[in-house]
Each structure stands twice: as structure tokens, then as C-alpha cells.
Structure 1
Amino acid sequence: MSTLSSDSSVYTELLLQTERHIRLIRLLPGIEDDDIHLELSTSDLDSKPTYETLSYTWGDVSDPKSVHIRGLASDAPVSFAVTSNCYRALARLRLKQQARTIWVDAISINQNDVEERNSQVALMSRIYSEAANVVVYLGERTSNSDLALDFITECDNPSPDASSLSYPKEDELVKSLVDFFHRPWFSRVWVIQEIALPNSAIVHCGKRTIDWAAIQNFQRWNVNAKWLAELPFVLSMPKRSLELDEPEHAMLNALLKSRHCAATDPRDKVYALLPLLRKFNKRIELQPRYQDTATEVFTDCAKTLIATCGWDILHAVQGGSKLPDLPSWVPDWSVPPRREFIGNCGKEGMERGYYTHFWDRKRDFNVPYMPELVSKTLQSKPEKTSQMLRVHGFSCGKIAKIGSTYIASKTPFPYHEWRNMLDDETVKAIDRAEPAPAYRGDQDHLDYTFHWVLGAIERGVYPNALRMFLFPRKPGKSTRFEDISRWEEELRELASNKGVKDDDGVPELPFHEIPFHLAADDFPPSYFRYIQAVLRHCHSRRFFITEKGYIGIAPQEAEIGDDVYICAGAVTPFVLRDHGTVADDHGGNWCFNLVGECYKERSPWESIRYGLGDPEAIYIA
């Protein structure tokens, strides 16, 4: 939620008497070009009032429009500022002959009253669950929106004289569907609970309306037809995990899945999901506190989840946060997803993680296998106490060499650059023939390890298939190769058409919009699964070599001199950056900032079995 400058006298006359009270709006009748007139009243939810709720995107707060509120102490209507998108939504909802009772967050809640915002957001699950209906406003008509709506309607209710859908799959139709589901409403974090909580919903797109159930049915149809690679989270939300998981895991999963969703206020990335948990009778010890900064909100959220979710919190950390004083181990949920989770947060990640089996076998380290939240001070700053994590791990050495970053849609895959880094003498000095079952026949072990690291976690390794994909032969030229793959060319064209650019003005696709599933789709299944794994896992990462000669892929933010640690109980290693020392009674005093999860060859793990000692205690600030 955001704020607009409005007359606060509206709320002074209509104070909410209890935490169960809400403000309802009578949207007075009118025709298309009339000014919008409203009446406000308060109501106790326990009295079971009949009302609808509006779900929409706030839009640009710098271009406000005025609605007129009647029935206050002043005889004349009071002007009240709303966003232009809210104004258009009200104009579409307004009936010609009779009033309509609705609840709209921008008007029903005093956005300038922090305590009221806290109370009303905590009540949101009831407000939406007990509404007679939710009305979704997607925006006005576009040149191809009717085509998309016609097709969605046809999917929901096929024509009687057609044995199958009467619309053949054509580029124009697919584009209309893509454009439809890329409307801002579908990417807004608040709509997740706004559409999930009510029993029914009607969708407005310009003058057209359609049942939300029809759009849901299209999602089910698309699962089999696969016309669109991915539909918005609000349609594909994993309700099963919300129903079955522990509350903390359910919250973390919802945060991860909705990470790309937009919110005007970054704190809403957390608070908008709390009502959703309550729908599934899940509760965590976290309440809306709009008096807190985003740093405080994200930190409190991480502290609430860490005891249950453990290492998954650290796997969720991705670079790019600009929040002041945010602990490095706390995910900044306002930063869009930048790369694939190698740890694959959650139970699935723990099952797939190749380090998990090692910890299952080796139970005699006598150290905690979960991060411990502690309050500590740096020796360089004894006056300031910070919330840190105490963990235990093995050092794999500092990063001695690091390659350039691969960004799909922006940079060619740096295959040759990374492969040439293997000529380093420390890399060659390691005997990689020891874990023989991991390799195939007499294949070069170092080359196999390199391609295994690029794919991360995936079992099948196909170096020749990857090279064939990255460097396809030019037509009719058996000895000549293309500079980049056709898939990369398509990505660049897609990024250019999308109009999204990085800080330097170079077109770049957001991570969640990169069509990895289309890469190498004409290759045999085992090949394209491996190639897609390489592209996904290497995106926004760089190849590295530690001073001990071990190889891996690290986050884009990693630098030479960073440490690589294997932490007790964690699914993957982590890249850490020196942050000073901490006085500690447990024997360890090194303190680091978390850069992010990484992936590296297994060799160090095999070596641990042969006596590197117990893990050391370290701190993450």
C-alpha cells in the first residue's frame, strides 16, 4: 500500500470503534462521464454486512483523481484523492440505477494512520473471506484483449458445435494471451490473498467481464496444452503446500514463489501473505507493524522463520539489496529473483542436495546442524550489538580466480573462458579419480567434473551436447560455428522487445521471464534436461577456483578473496566475505557477511571423511 494526500476529516468523523470494524463505501449510481460520488459508513464484521471488495493495482500515485464523499458533517461533498487507476475501477463498477456497497483499501483504510493500517491488514483475511464477491479490475481494453478473453471463454465453455477448441494456435492468439497475463494486476503481491480468500470473483477488463473461474479453468487447460510456459503465481499458487506444510515453511514457500510480484511498499511483500496463511489456519508470530522500516520487517520475518526453516533462509538470500543495515543472512524480499536456487529451498531441496547424504552418514561432529541466532558484537565495534548466526563449517579456501558472469539474454555463455581456467596448476594437482563411481568409463575426470559443476545437482552430464548447443554449426559450413546459439539470439530479441534494461541501459530479461524450457527443446530428453540445468544454474553466476584448487560456480556478487565454506547441515556451500572478528567462548571468532549459496565439486567432501577435524564455529553478520 502507498499513500496519497487526502482530507483526513473523512476518517475523523468515521472512527473505527473496535478492531472488528471496517469502513464500507456506497458507490452511488451514475453514467460514464459523471463525477464519482461515494458515501462512507462503519460496520462491525460480526454483524455480517453484505459488501463486495475491489481488487486492483494502485497505479501511479503522482497522477491522482478526485472522488466526492457525501454525507459528512459538511453539507458539501468532500473531495478525496485516489489514483487514476482506482478512479477508473470505480467508474467501471458503478451501476446506472442503484448504489453498490464495496470495500476499497485506498479509501476504507486511513493510509496515514499507522496503527489503523496495522489493525486493518491483520483483519484482511476476514474482510476478503466474508465478502459476498470480489471484483477484479484488470484495466482498460487493448487492441488484443478481446481476442484473449474470447479464447479463455471458449476454453471454459466450448461451442456446442465444436469437438475441440475452434481457435487454432497462432502467434497472434498466443501473444494476446501473453499480453493479457502480463497486465500489472497479475504481478501484484496483494492480489494473491485478495483472489484466494473470497468464494467468488468477477473480472473486469474494460467493458468486458468474465468469471474468475473461467480464468482458473484456462490455467488447468494450459497445464496440458502448454501454450504458455508459465502463468502468474496468483493462478499457479501451490495451495497444497499452504495446507500441509508447517506455518513457517508455508510462509517461506509463499515468499519464494511470490518474490517477483510487485508491491508499492516493500513491507507488503511480507504482510500481504499473512492473511493467506490465516485462510489455511496457519499462524506465525508475525504481526503487521507499518511503523517499522523494511529492514526491520524483513529481519523480524527471518528471525521468526529461522528456527524452523534453518538453512533455507540463507539459501533464499540473493544479492542486490540496497536496504540500510540489513543483516547479510536476511533475504531482501523487495529484490526480484536473480537466479535459480541451487539449494532449492524446502523439503525437495533437502532431498536433492548432494551434501545432505553426507551429513546423514557423519553424525559424530558434535556440533549443531542448524544456524543459531545470537546477539554479538564485533571486536572493531564493541559499542554495537548485532543479531548474527553462529554456524559450523569447513573452509574450502578463498576464491583465487573467478570468471566473468553469465547473464542469459545479455551475455554469451563464457564456456571457453571458464574451461580455460582449468589450466591452473592448483586445479590439476587434485586427484579427481578417487570417487570413481561418479564418472563414466575412462572419460577425462577434470573435464567431467567441470561439466558436472556447471549443471549442478543434475545427475546426467553430457559435455558434447552442451557444446553442440552453445556453438551450433553454420548451415552448409561443417567447420564453421555460430557465435551464439539460436536460443540466445531469441532471448536478446525478446529482451529488446520487452523494453526492460539494466542499470547501464542494456536490454535484459528478468530472471523469472527467461524461457529456459525452450532451450535445446529439439535435443533428446536427457540432453535438453542437462543443457537447461546448466543454463539455469549458471545464470547470474560465475565460475571460480579456490586457492586449494577446487572449482565451482558462485553468485554474480562473489569476488576474489571471498571464502567458500561447507556448513554443517547445509545443502550447498556458501560464499562468505570477511567482516571482522567476534569474541566467543566457543572457540571460533571469525565473522563473515553472506554473499550467497554456491556449488562446487564433491572432492572436498570426500576428503572430510579422511580426517580434516571438526567443523569450526564462525559467525554470519
Structure 2
Amino acid sequence: MEATAAESYPGGQLNQEDSFRVIEIQPGERNAPINVRLVTTNLQDCAPYEALSYAWGDLTQTESIEVVTTTLDNGDNPSAPLSVTISCADALRRLRCRKAPRSLWVDAICINQTRVPERNHQLLLMPRIYSGASRVVIYLGESNGADSSDAVMDWLREIHEPSDSSGHLPPPDLNVIREFLGRRWFTRVWVLQEVRLAREAIVVCGDREVSWDAFRELRDWVANRRVYEGRHRFWDLPYTVQSLVSDGPVSVLSWLPSYHAQLLHKLVHTRDLGATDPRDKLFAVIPLLEWEIWRYREAYPAAAPKESGRADCETTEFDYYGLSPAEIFTDLARELINGIGLRVLYCAATPAAIPGLPSWAPDWSYNNPQVYHVAFLRLYGLAGETGTQLRVEAASGGTIAKLGDVCDMHTDYLPLEQWEALCEPAHLECELDQRDLSRFIDVLFKGDTFNESAAIQAVAAVKRYNHDKSGDPSPKPSSHSLDWIFKGTAQETALMDIFQSALPSFQRQAERLFHACHRQRLFVTDAGCLGLAPEAARIGDQVMIIKGLDAPFVVRPEFASSDGPEAVLLLGTCYVERGTKTEAGRVDLYHTISYEERVIR
């Protein structure tokens, strides 16, 4: 459910607790103007209807439709225009019957998006609206050609319901399937609730139609391909497909101890999904989570978590859209911290996209951050907090004295040569000695190397790639024989693809390198400690170790006063090697620090 620009809405007010509206799309030819009747009804005695699940698309690209409002007292009122997005109009045109009306619930039309009280009220009803529909119609958009989306839809229908006449239908090209699953619908957070609560769901793309159950076969096909070809040669299905085609009600709820832990888990896993209104990143998952808790308790009453955080998993009346995104996310962070502790900070990253958000409050509208898998971290208690400031016990892990460029795997940029130069002792003109090289390798992989020899070769191969990509005429770097790794030239090959001909174990090690370094910067502290920091870091920032948390953070000091603790801005988590070199050998950094009170603003 997302919001359009304000305009005159043709429907009247919804006066009953379970009132909502449906539309009847009037019959017409394919390209005829769109006319609908807007009917007010209630959940108790409404006529059968379908619910539409689709992506709104560009809010600036709209089309006008004609709406006739039907009321119990006055019958049909004169028609009035209503602007909807092009995507909505395309869906209505595609789903319209030629000779009979078709009843649908469509959020952009059935909810007055300009009235905050109504949006709040309908938000609470949406789970019942989708679960009460005879089926949910998923509209992915129009076809983009017989050899692309049409081919995928035909293949999905064939693997789900094989026909004797067509024979074996081979899968489309892998890039075609990827493009199909890259359609906007698969990236939206609201669709999780819309499909999960459906009695039945069908997928419409152009003039093709297939049951949503066909995506279970797609999931199994991808899993089998990954087994035979290796994860490095494949890709992950969109979270919307992975999560919505699960077999049965068993889920993470069996090992997450509380409602707050379950909510945080759901927010982390849906973080890459989008919503036009950032507040919907929360509002879309709360009803879904509560429905899943109810299903899990129903199926496994003895094993279900005892504490839910909400009475009988019912969402209470709340002024959802009357609060700003900053207020919503700040209150959410405070509630999560009160419920499960400071591990919520692992999800915070600066800069936030939402103005006025404290640095300790995760910005859930911010996609693709480098965050930890918080559901697997230990549970700790809460330090005190006041207003928009969070008080913690923390210690300094040093000040960033040297800082490298940002790695960006999407542009084939992993500046290992520059990073390595930051680590070299000033008096050395050669590459790192073996002891320093081990530290460098450890940091590049964030301590996750199962084969140091393969890790060293992977680093050498990336440096060789960078050398060839730059066209440097000097001798190729590294003493290793790396010709077996490369197929084609660096100009023709993406950095992430240079290991495709290597052994699977080598490829997995290289994957860890790319994942660890993406959107990170190598740094050296004033004490000589190496680490990887988020891209927002700069020289002069500090490494801060919060008592009770495993991962350190990069923070930016704001001020220190004589009558209060030091205030800092939280930039995000970082990786720091476990010790610092000294004349006596290596000292465990985490065992030589003292904690003081700090304020995170």
C-alpha cells in the first residue's frame, strides 16, 4: 500500500469498523477507456472478490480512469476521474473481461490515500482483505517478447502442469530467467503479506497466466542447478520467492525466543525490498509476522515461543501515518533495544536516508547495507538511553590514521595494491613480508579463510586482474602461476567472474574475499591495527568497542564535555584484527581495554 499525490477522491467515508471498498471493472475491449464502479462493503457479508498484487511503478506517470461510486442510500453517483499509475491502469486493462464485470480489491483505488485516518484503518484490515479474497492476482506487467517473459511463463506452466502435447520444454536462457525475476514486483515488501495470506494466487504477465505454486518448482530447479554448478556460477532467488514458497508453517520462530527477535529477523531479511513510503518497511511486515506466529502456534502449540510481545498477535489501533519516518524508526529502535539488547546496533549505518534519524536507529529504508546476520548473534542486556541519545559502556580501539579507497564489486574495483601500500612499513620498498601478509589476508577475508594458500592465490589473481585491466606494461605481479584462472582478457571479464574455471573450493574462497570487501575501506589505526570500515569512514574516526557486543564499530566523535560522557555518531560495524603488533609479539586488543560511558547520538 503506497501513496499517490493528493487529489479529489470519489468515494465516501468508511463508517464501520470492518468497512472497505471493492471495484467492479466494467467490461470493455483491450484498448477502451477504463471504467470502474466503487462499491462500499464490509468483511462480514461482502460478495466474492479478488485482490490485486502489483507494483505501483513511477508515481509521476499516471492515467485517468472513470469511477462511479455506489452507495446504499443513493445508488450510483455521477462518474468522476481518478488518476492511477500506468502500472495500475495496465493491470486493470489486462484483467478486464470483455463481457462481464470483474470484482477486485485494488489498494490505490479502494483506499483514499490522501486521508491518514483511513490509511491507518485500512492497514489494520489488509490481512483480512487479502485472506478473505477468493484469490490474489499477481500482475507482473506486460510481456517483453516471446523469447523472454513469455518463454519463462510457458516454461513455469509446463514444469508445474506438464502437458502431453507440448513435450519437454527446455528452460529459457539463464539471463532471461534472471531478467524475469528482476521485475519490480519481486522487489516490493508489501507483496510478502499479499501472497502469504492468499487462499490461492495466480501470476499474470502479459497474456500468460500460471499458478503461484509453479514457483516452488522454480525454487527446486535453482537449488539443483546450484548443487551441480556451484553457488559461484549461480545466483540467489529473490527473497519474495524464497520465503513465499516454503513448505509448511515451520520457520525461524522455533529458535527465536521473543516477538522482538522475530521482528528484527524479519526486518533484516526484508531490508533489500522496497516501498515508496519508508514507513511501510515496518508496516508491511508486522501483520505478516503476527500471522506467521499464529500459524506456528496453531501447528506446534508445545514448541511455539511463549512471549509474543503482543496480546493474541493482534495489531492495535495506532496512528501509523501520522508519525514521520524518523519518529517511527526511532521508536522502533528503542522498542527493539529494550526487548533484545544492543545487537540492534549491528543494523545501523550512516549516512541515513531519513533526516532526523539518530545514528543508533537503523534506517530500514536503506537497502544493501553491510550488516551482520543479527539473528545468530548472542543476546545481551540494554544500556540506559535518553531521548534520541543512547548511553553505552564502550572503549576505544584506536583512531583511523590511514584509509584506502572504497571497494565496489559492481564496477570491478578492488584496490588491493593501494590497500597493501597502506600496510607496508615505511622503510620497505618490497611487498609485505610473510608475517604482515598473513595479517593483510586475515583482514581482507574478515578472518574467514579456510585455506590460506587459496586465499593468497585469490589476492594475487585480483592484483593480476587489476594490472591487466589498467594496461600497465610492467611485469605482471605475483610469483604464482595464474594463467589457468583466466579465460579471456581483463577488459572482457567482470572481476567476480575471473575464477569460473578454478576449483570449487578456490571459488568459494574467492567469493568470501569479494563479499567481505564490497563497499568497505581498509584502514590502519594509530596503533598499527588493520581493519575494514564502512564507506562512510574517514581519517580521524575511531574504532569503538561496545561492552557486550562482538563486532566493533566505527564512530565519529562529536564533542566531549567536562560534565558528561563523550558523544559520538555511529557510522556502522567494522572488522578489526584481533590483536595489535608490539615488540613483545601480539596482544589481544579486546582484553587490554577499559570501558567508559559514551553517548551515541
How many angstroms does 1:492 deviate by? 8.7
Whether 2:509 is the aligned partner of 1:524: answer no
Change (3 A) 1:217 1:469: same
CA contact (8 A) 1:373 1:387 kept: no
Which residue does 2:305 correspond to in 1? none
> Which amino acid in 2 is paired with 1:177?
I
Output one character per residue of 1:337-367: Cα deviation in whole Å (capped at 9) or x when no partner: 143x3x32211x44xxxxx9xxxxxxxxxxx
- Aligned pairs for 1:26-37 (under 5 A) are 26-37=24-35
Q: For residues 283 and 143 of structure 2, what CA distance do their matches in structure 1 show?
A: 31
- Aligned pairs for 1:450-599 (under 5 A) are 450-460=440-450, 461-462=452-453, 463-472=455-464, 480=476, 520-581=499-560, 589-599=565-575
> Which amino acid in 2 is paired with 1:388?
Q
Which residue does 2:104 correspond to in 1? 102
Q: For residues 405 and 535 of structure 2, what CA distance do their matches in structure 1 show?
A: 8
Change (3 A) 1:583 1:70: farther
Q: For residues 289 and 56 of structure 2, what CA distance do their matches in structure 1 show?
A: 23
Change (3 A) 1:260 1:519: farther
Change (3 A) 1:579 1:426: farther
How many angstroms does 1:597 deviate by? 0.4
Whether 2:270 is the aligned partner of 1:269: answer no
Change (3 A) 1:322 1:526: same
CA contact (8 A) 1:155 1:221 kept: no
Instruction: Point out the more displaced range, 101-110 or 306-315.
Output: 306-315
Which residue does 1:2 correspond to in 2? 3
> Which amino acid in 2 is paired with 1:374?
E
How many angstroms does 1:558 deviate by? 0.7
Change (3 A) 1:94 1:260: same
How many angstroms does 1:455 deviate by? 0.4
- Aligned pairs for 1:187-226 (under 5 A) are 187-226=187-226
Which residue does 1:154 correspond to in 2? 158
Change (3 A) 1:406 1:68: same
Which residue does 1:372 correspond to in 2? 383
Q: For residues 191 and 577 of structure 1, what CA distance do their matches in structure 2 show?
A: 38
Output one character per residue of 1:477-511: Cα deviation in whole Å (capped at 9) or x when no partner: 996369999699889977xxxxxxxxxxxxxxxxx
Which residue does 2:404 correspond to in 1? 403
Q: For residues 165 and 11 of structure 2, what CA distance do their matches in structure 1 show?
A: 56
Which residue does 2:345 correspond to in 1? 314
Which residue does 1:66 correspond to in 2? 64
CA contact (8 A) 1:405 1:556 kept: yes
Q: For residues 39 and 555 of structure 2, what CA distance do their matches in structure 1 show?
A: 55
> Which amino acid in 2 is paired with 1:577?
R
Which residue does 1:363 correspond to in 2? none
Which residue does 2:357 correspond to in 1? 326
CA contact (8 A) 1:241 1:250 kept: no
Instruction: Point out the more displaced range, 449-458 or 416-425.
Output: 416-425
How many angstroms does 1:259 deviate by? 1.8
Q: For residues 35 and 491 of structure 1, what CA distance do their matches in structure 2 show?
A: 51
CA contact (8 A) 1:572 1:598 kept: yes
Q: For residues 540 and 16 of structure 2, what CA distance do their matches in structure 1 show?
A: 57
What SS class does the counterpart of residue 321 from structure 2 fall into? coil
How many angstroms does 1:524 deviate by? 3.2
How many angstroms does 1:297 deviate by? 1.6
Change (3 A) 1:116 1:71: closer
CA contact (8 A) 1:396 1:604 kept: no
Taking only the aligned residue pairs, the percentage that are identical comes to 31
Output one character per residue of 1:398-447: Cα deviation in whole Å (capped at 9) or x when no partner: 111111111113253221221222234799xxxxxxxxxxxxxxx93322
Whether 2:260 is the aligned partner of 1:229: answer no
Change (3 A) 1:114 1:90: same
What SS class does the counterpart of residue 404 from structure 1 fall into? coil
Which residue does 2:129 correspond to in 1? 127
Change (3 A) 1:425 1:570: farther
How many angstroms does 1:232 deviate by? 1.3
Whether 2:336 is the aligned partner of 1:336: answer no
Whether 2:576 is the aligned partner of 1:600: answer yes
What SS class does the counterpart of residue 372 from structure 1 fall into? coil
How many residue pairs get aligned? The number is: 543
Q: For residues 273 and 159 of structure 1, what CA distance do their matches in structure 2 show?
A: 38
Which residue does 1:16 correspond to in 2? 14
CA contact (8 A) 1:399 1:562 kept: yes
How many angstroms does 1:600 deviate by? 0.9
Change (3 A) 1:288 1:259: farther
Aligned with 1:250 (options 247, 262, 265): 262
Which residue does 1:506 correspond to in 2? none
Q: For residues 481 and 395 of structure 1, what CA distance do their matches in structure 2 show?
A: 37
CA contact (8 A) 2:36 2:66 kept: yes
Instruction: Point out the more displaced range, 465-474 or 60-69.
Output: 465-474
What SS class does the counterpart of residue 410 from structure 2 fall into? coil
Q: For residues 412 and 456 of structure 1, what CA distance do their matches in structure 2 show?
A: 18
> Which amino acid in 2 is paired with 1:304?
E
How many angstroms does 1:60 deviate by? 2.1
Q: For residues 157 and 121 of structure 2, what CA distance do their matches in structure 1 show?
A: 39
Which residue does 1:300 correspond to in 2? 331
- Aligned pairs for 1:407-426 (under 5 A) are 407-410=408-411, 412-424=413-425
Q: For residues 289 and 203 of structure 1, what CA distance do their matches in structure 2 show?
A: 31
Change (3 A) 1:241 1:303: farther
Output one character per residue of 1:557-588: Cα deviation in whole Å (capped at 9) or x when no partner: 1111111122222121111110223687xxx7
- Which ranges in structure 2 are unaligned for 5 or more consecutive residues? 227-232, 295-307
TM-score by length of 2: 0.82
Q: For residues 498 and 456 of structure 2, what CA distance do their matches in structure 1 show?
A: 16
Q: For residues 559 and 4 of structure 1, what CA distance do their matches in structure 2 show?
A: 40
Q: For residues 412 and 75 of structure 1, what CA distance do their matches in structure 2 show?
A: 61
Q: For residues 592 and 236 of structure 1, what CA distance do their matches in structure 2 show?
A: 39
Q: For residues 252 and 131 of structure 2, what CA distance do their matches in structure 1 show?
A: 16
CA contact (8 A) 2:417 2:463 kept: no
Q: For residues 610 and 559 of structure 1, what CA distance do their matches in structure 2 show?
A: 23
How many angstroms does 1:522 deviate by? 3.3
Q: For residues 489 and 281 of structure 2, what CA distance do their matches in structure 1 show?
A: 34
How many angstroms does 1:278 deviate by? 2.2
Output one character per residue of 1:87-124: Cα deviation in whole Å (capped at 9) or x when no partner: 11111111222222211101111101101111111221
Change (3 A) 1:604 1:47: farther
What SS class does the counterpart of residue 50 from structure 1 fall into? coil
Q: For residues 573 and 290 of structure 2, what CA distance do their matches in structure 1 show?
A: 32
CA contact (8 A) 1:57 1:185 kept: yes
